[in-house]
A = this chain, B = another copy of it.
Amino acid sequence: MSRPAAQRPRLGLIGYGAFGRLTARHLSPWFEVLAHDPAATAEEGDAARLTDLATAAACPVVILAVPVEGLAQTLSAIAPDLQEGALILDVGSVKVGPARLMAEHLPAHVQTVGTHPLFGPQSARDGIAGLRIAVCPVRGDRIARRVAAFCRHALKLKVFLVSPEDHDREAAVVQGLTHLISRVLLSMEPLPTRMTTTSFERIMQAVEMVRYDSPAVFRAIERENPYAAGVRDRFFDLAARARADLDDGAAAQASSGPPVGSLGSSGSPAS
Contacts and interface: CB of A to CB of B under 8 A. Distances in A.
Interface string A231-268: 01011101110110011011001000011111111111
Given A74-B263, A210-B199, A264-B36, A117 B269 contact: yes
Contacts of A92: 267, 269
A270 B213 contact: yes
Nearest to A70: B261
B178 A197 contact: yes
Given A198-B119, A203-B206, A268 B192 contact: no
For the complex formed by this chain, how many copies does it contain in all? 2
A267 B199 contact: no
A78 to B, nearest CB: 9
| Interface SS majority for chain A | helix
B65 A268 contact: yes
Given A123-B197, A205-B202, A270-B217, A180 B242 contact: yes
A129 interface: no
Given A181-B203, A246-B222, A265-B37, A271 B122 contact: yes
Contacts of A77: 263
A249 B223 contact: yes
B217 A267 contact: yes
A68 interface: yes
A14 interface: yes
